[in-house]
Chain A
Amino acid sequence: MESGLKRRRRRENLFKLAGMLATAVGIAFLGVFFANLVANGASAFEQTFIQLNVDFTEDVISPGGELDLVYADFDGLVRDSLRAEFPHVSSRSERRELNKLVSIGAGYQMRDMIEANPDLLGSAQLLWVPASATVDMFIKGNIDATLDASLRPLSDAQISWIQALQDSGRLETRLNMALFTNGDSREPELAGIRGALMGSFYMLIVTIVLAFPIGVAAAIYLEEFAPRSRWSDLIEVNINNLAAVPSIVFGLLGLAVFINWMGIPRSAPLVGGLVLSLLTLPVIIIASRAAIKAVPPSIREAALGLGASKMQVVFHHVMPLALPGMLTGAIIGMSRALGESAPLLMIGMVAFIVDVPAGLSDPATALPVQIYLWADSPERAFAERTSAAIIVLLGFLLVMNLSAVVIRKRMERKW
């Protein structure tokens, strides 16, 4: 008896140790992953800005007294202010190098300012404009100044100008708002995830509006009303299978049915939402069925005994008790849908879209797809932005899953 006890205790301790080890390994992997992510992406939340003294000359912006926002040479104004800053820069090649310090977005920024406030015309303003991506990378320490001049994207002259601007306090890093306010762009310093965020948002709206009611209704029917037969078993097996089908297959289905046959515009969040709702539907059905099954039969019997009809039992008693489980399943399904990219590639949401979509039928992209596109780009500045976008995506997923847990905790009722 004694040796048996000892053996059992040792085995239990070994098992506990194995469990702790497995958990530690899992956490270690997660830790390495997050550390790597943050190390790469944290710098993307900052952007280098250069302060320029810009003269909103009337002759350039409104020649002949009329405000010309389309053809006015705002870039010229930027160049003028740079030249005023460094008057000794004379040769054409040097001037080109100087102009390359500032992002081409500076001109657009000025145009937007004039458009919003035409009173600025004729005044001189001190503006902070984004520096080009190369300057940004240099400031963040990603460009090695000790390398031979032909091996780096910044020349010695450019580096000296950057130093000069920094010393005079006209170059600093600030919060990179463009990441959240702009759509995608060829220029990394102007690229943002807003287009992708809006695209994902519209798609999730379509997904939840379609998948939740249909999924819940299907689950209620299958659990409460459908007679147990070969058919219902077949349906159950099929639904479980659908939940495990690779998501790219849904993309192919969307391409064939929604785009080719039904003619819905390609790249629209509507198609994306339809495809994602097909993906989410089995997950919601399975979770809802489990939630309905968990409602104790005593409650149903009590309601039936009082003379409630089947429908009344389901809607007055079963649904309220199963709702936390259904919502949790829906949120988990949605967070899976948020992170899908393969089916969206199939339906054309992989295009380079710069405009932020305003509705369900505007061409759009989704956050995971945006990450994929940026990851493909060789520019160093996009590498850090990819990691930043991943951090944002993970942040959303974390919020969604946390809210699933919170909802479950708060709505749990005792019976």
Chain B
Amino acid sequence: MALMTEIESSDIQPPSTNGAQPSAVLEQVVNLGATIGDVRCEDPYVVTESVDVYYGDNHAIKDVTLEISKKEVIALIGPSGCGKSTFLRCLNRMNDTIETARVTGKITLGGQDIYGKELDPVALRARVGMVFQKPNPFPKSIYDNVAYGPRIHGLAADRAELDDIVHTSLERAGLLKEVIDRLDEPGTGLSGGQQQRLCIARTIAVNPEVILMDEPCSALDPIATAKIEDLMDELSHDYAIVIVTHSMQQAARVSRRVAYFHLGLLVEVDETDKIFTNPQHKLTEDYITGRIG
């Protein structure tokens, strides 16, 4: 069932891996066998089955099986270099841009194999949006930033509809009031928190089904972070959100389920309350209490 995919070139580097962990710990993980907790869920929408990711010879993601349902927020946590960003980027095939990356296994979105012939990566990425760690608005006006996605996918029949989409997206991102009178100004002129909300508005403007967030608040101050966490709460009513985060407090605040990664293995998956109060695996407990990572 392995699906080999050769990837094209780019100059985006894969996330760097951490230094070597003590081998005793590694053995413990290898002896683990299966992931602790419930990888399955009700009403799964994004399903990964035995996914492996290699960066050249580096085995970054090892045999991960996980189901994500349609309207939940799931947080991926783990120490640096454990593969959470790599896993996240598999879900919208952003690993395609890395030359040395190789993905095996099966990933489906609503039943469709995302590496299959029927699903064009371009169409996939319109359904699975992504918000990056460092806010990256286009060097265009705020309006054009948000309107770019709808424009290229032909989501608006005329200017009025496009205006509507832009205004709605900005409002849902909690940014409209602040920028309503300067939509023609460059997006790069906003503050960090505003830029990240602009990126979120840009992502939801194409009406995706899943939103992937790669440490969206790590470059922001606490107030901006709080605003974005509130936003995530609202968005979770309509979209599946997969968030990678270094902050366990954030994971505890925003997510319903938490998945703990360690050195490319999915160690434990469970509901947020359970995993933070009563972690099953020693590695999870060590990470949560701050002994590792």
Contacts and interface: CB of A to CB of B under 8 A. Distances in A.
Closest 6 CB pairs of A and B: A307-B126, A305-B130, A307-B125, A298-B136, A306-B149, A302-B136
Given A299-B138, A306-B126, A307-B125, A227 B8 contact: yes
Given A228-B99, A301-B132, A414-B188, A306 B9 contact: no
A414 B185 CA distance: 13
Given A297-B10, A302-B199, A414-B188, A307 B138 contact: no
Interface in B7-60: 8-12
Contacts of A226: 9
A297 B11 contact: yes
Interface in A217-255: 226-228
Interface majority SS (helix, strand, loop, mixed), chain A: helix
A304 interface: yes
Interface of A: 226-228, 293, 297-309, 312, 316-317, 320-321, 413-415
A306 B206 contact: yes
Contact of A307 (B9, B97, B152): B152
B122 A307 contact: yes
Nearest to B13: A297
Interface residues of B, number: 31
B49 to A, nearest CB: 24
B193 interface: no
Interface of B: 8-12, 92, 94, 97, 99, 122-126, 129-130, 132, 134, 136-139, 148-149, 152-153, 188, 199, 202-203, 206
B136 A306 contact: no
A302 B206 CA distance: 13
Nearest to A305: B130
B11 A308 contact: no
Contact of B129 (A306, A309, A320, A413): A306
B94 A293 contact: no
A303 B130 contact: no
Contacts of B99: 228
Nearest to B212: A305
Given A305-B92, A305-B203, A308-B148, 13 more contacts: A227-B8, A297-B10, A298-B132, A300-B10, A301-B94, A306-B126, A306-B148, A306-B149, A306-B206, A307-B122, A307-B124, A308-B152, A317-B138
6 contacts: A298-B136, A304-B97, A305-B125, A307-B149, A308-B122, A309-B122
B95 to A, nearest CB: 11
A246 B8 CA distance: 37
Name which of B9, B94, B124 has the most chain A CB atoms within 10 A of its CB.
B9
Given A227-B8, A227-B9, A306 B139 contact: no
Name which of B99, B138, B149 has the most chain A CB atoms within 10 A of its CB.
B138
B276 to A, nearest CB: 30
A79 B79 CA distance: 102
A227 B10 CA distance: 9
Contacts of B124: 307
Contact of A297 (B8, B9, B12, B123): B12
A312 B152 CA distance: 8
B9 A305 contact: no
A3 to B, nearest CB: 39
A304 B97 CA distance: 9
A8 B47 CA distance: 62
B136 A321 contact: no
A181 to B, nearest CB: 47
B9 A304 contact: no
A299 B145 CA distance: 11
Contacts of A305: 92, 94, 125, 129-130, 132, 203
A413 B188 CA distance: 10
